[in-house]
Structure 1
């Protein structure tokens, strides 16, 4: 790799590099509080020593439950420097879901924001993320860490909902994330590797790879990461102008919300060089509005937790209006593989399929996860040898190598950038005494891309209502997973083996849509 685009085997080494070369540069900005690289580096070392003083050692799991903050980002780098594994948990999850993750991961310590502390049953070490955290951190030694951390050591364990209803811990290594920046620089994929000193906003939920990846990426490129507790359109607009932000990552639904905000009408977006989006394709009308008002490059990113995020990208050139004319179909694609990534379309026997034929999307490259935590059967099913990972998405490659996602083999619903698996919602609702049978599907939604719908067979004689079903769901699972609407039918369509025919249930709602992914 070029000296201009250095490769850091671990995130801790990246942080140390910029602490030594640009110690006074702003690394983190959170409200009125700024942290330079020198301080960031010292805090990470103190946190690593503090974790060791708790009796934790290399490979142990450290969980965090809360919203985004500068302290939580420092915590991630402290865990990384200690050779431990960071588990940021989506704060919107229900207590039962969080309890499962804590038990499954065997976390040795939980760092939690005070507003959530009483909700979580955790018998181990618990540290509140308030002033007491800063006092704890600052009381620790800043002596250099002697633990050896290697590129292939695990860094993150992010939980993604499983098709069986139980979340799976995706284990990602340092190298899964660190190898990308120099490779992207080498190939001028500038929209995925900002220049040193560039600023970007981190507002995605921490428990997602888009959130965790953005939060820690600054130390690989000497970036200024502006941290928002959660997405706030007014704050985003204000900070873009105040801090002359160059890069935004946002889901299409959030972009629409931001552009519709009253403050956007007179906002100065001239500092923004590029906007990347993911989780769902962008409607052409929204793209045209975004390009016209932001006057910056747009790029789509496609990836999974299991691939440390982006492995496919639809480039800024593909988004330019003059390049869309006559090839509008490309805007319906996810894009082309980024350098270092290979894509195949597989049939049911896992044989490669030719261009133009739909099958299961498989990915190979250095971004592919180490595996699922304590899930040997899932690993055997998805990591199929020679570096290939089965995504579970159905797609097609065209002759130019553009990937078109057709449907989700695993039935996942993406609503406002959040992943929802029908089996998990169905499992939660089966406990309702008046529900005899249930299926959950995603239907088109102009704001969120997809909305969760429950199709329910009520028990004879019950007076079950839509409100009853939704209220029950809210007690059992996170709000974003709850049905937004409920239909009642006499019987669910099933095949001879008893499997629910979800496509048949979805068909009336997706009629007229070009694909069953909004």
Structure 2
């Protein structure tokens, strides 16, 4: 009989070995690994009682909590697929996700559930349950009435474990089908290359609707049997209060820039730390240098994406070069190709493509898009421009796709432009990312108004706030007479980025 490829089976085995050791610590209380197994079992029984079957989707838009963790693990345990959504998404955005994913269950914040129930009903969702930031709600209450033991489903490596949506340049989000093989291979590789060891304590201040906080941080720490210091969000004072007990921290570049700006952040606070890891957005070389000077620690930068998890990483032992994302993970292949698809000589800039056990299965119900993005030999076109040194070290130099990364979150301009262009008085718009000292990049909208109309920036901003998640909202709206175009009529966004690159001081 073949072994179980279900990622949860490996996490379950690790938790059993850890036993009464602390799995999570928060607000002065703790949850042991044995207690986590019981909690996950209760949630698994709750999902089964609600009729969630193997391969069915569980859509989750709730605040970070231990109940949310138990729900994620329970979804894996029963062989269903976990579909997390950013808590900032509006009801209109959620309507699309429910229509596309067709989940069996929606788990929502109690404060929003009455708004979402009719949307879910119209999309054919069978059940709607609630879970709040304290891990309480109708789903938690149901789970509490059920036994803590439940069978773990036998899964094949390519069975669907998660469905994560990533925005597309057409404005339509794509569901990346993430398998148990994808998650397991990545977590096991990271355990090795980042030298996780008994006694490691992870400081977790990331959201868990995102690959970084959910898969990279949680899966790795749980497989290691580590204690996880569980923080609801990043707050510099709170993070610094817990740093002396931690050995590993994962964060977006914004975390590190904010720590550096805090007057109480000292080298002594970091004395017990083993590793600081940065990802989800490019880390400025200057931030890397300042952090090392202030703490003695060189931040380890890595590179990944929704579709492939982690692809490259700077070394644990060796030079962590500022501006570089390091080397391909074990069993992960990376190549740089030209416009003709042929591999380029080392040192030349081209499109980064990758393949390996971490590469996703394809886009949910989008076979044409899958075929366009995954080549016949299995390599995935990332959309990022990069170069590779003779020793295989990778440097990302730009993005072929029109992507903005602000505060570690991916934002695609087309989606915002489609909304702006519907606003009365707008002729057209172009959305760009410009340097921002805190967020890495800030969203800027450049708008052309009708000749007879005077665009009300405040009204446009308020209108967008009801249609888009907050992190997508422009931090500046500029009105111009016309957008710069080339001879083919294409808007020259590079020119706009150059024009507005000094908009935010200190970037």
The alignment's TM-score, normalised by the length of structure 1, stands at 0.89
1:39 deviates by 1.8
> Which stretch has the larger CA shift, 109-118 or 34-43?
109-118
Taking the aligned partners of 1:91 and 1:16, their CA distance within structure 2 comes to 28
Q: How does 1:358-437 map to 2 (within 5 A)?
A: 358-437=349-428
1:265 deviates by 4.8
What's 1:240 paired with?
A: 243
1:315 deviates by 2.8
What's 1:211 paired with?
A: 213
Deviations 1:80-124 (A, max 9, x none): 000000011110122211221122111111122223324433223
Structure 1 position 87 matched with structure 2 position 86: no
Q: Which of 101, 110, 113 is 2:109 aligned to?
A: 113
1:216 deviates by 3.4
> Which stretch has the larger CA shift, 311-320 or 167-176?
311-320
1:316 deviates by 4.9
Q: Which of 12, 17, 36 is 2:13 aligned to?
A: 17
Contact 2:267 2:294 (C-alpha < 8 Å) held by counterparts: no
Taking the aligned partners of 1:476 and 1:458, their CA distance within structure 2 comes to 20
What's 1:230 paired with?
A: 233
Contact 1:62 1:107 (C-alpha < 8 Å) held by counterparts: yes
Contact 1:184 1:339 (C-alpha < 8 Å) held by counterparts: no
Taking the aligned partners of 1:118 and 1:287, their CA distance within structure 2 comes to 45
What's 2:61 paired with?
A: 65
Structure 1 position 128 matched with structure 2 position 125: no
Contact 1:69 1:228 (C-alpha < 8 Å) held by counterparts: no
The alignment's TM-score, normalised by the length of structure 2, stands at 0.91
1:15 deviates by 2.7
Taking the aligned partners of 2:413 and 2:438, their CA distance within structure 1 comes to 20
Taking the aligned partners of 2:152 and 2:474, their CA distance within structure 1 comes to 50
Unmatched runs of 5 consecutive residues or more in structure 2: none
* Poorly superposed stretches of 4+, deviation over 6 Å: none
What's 2:50 paired with?
A: 54
Change (3 A) 1:112 1:33: farther
Change (3 A) 1:262 1:283: same
Structure 1 position 149 matched with structure 2 position 169: no
1:390 deviates by 0.5
Contact 2:44 2:150 (C-alpha < 8 Å) held by counterparts: no
Contact 1:9 1:179 (C-alpha < 8 Å) held by counterparts: no
What's 2:281 paired with?
A: 280
Change (3 A) 1:101 1:348: same
What's 2:313 paired with?
A: 313
What's 1:137 paired with?
A: 143
User: Secondary structure in 2 aligned to 1:122?
Assistant: helix
Change (3 A) 1:288 1:33: same
Contact 1:68 1:227 (C-alpha < 8 Å) held by counterparts: no
Q: How does 1:418-457 map to 2 (within 5 A)?
A: 418-457=409-448
Matched positions, count: 490
What's 2:24 paired with?
A: 28
Taking the aligned partners of 1:436 and 1:181, their CA distance within structure 2 comes to 48
Change (3 A) 1:184 1:482: closer
Contact 2:426 2:450 (C-alpha < 8 Å) held by counterparts: yes
What's 1:251 paired with?
A: 252
What's 1:4 paired with?
A: none
Taking the aligned partners of 1:178 and 1:116, their CA distance within structure 2 comes to 34
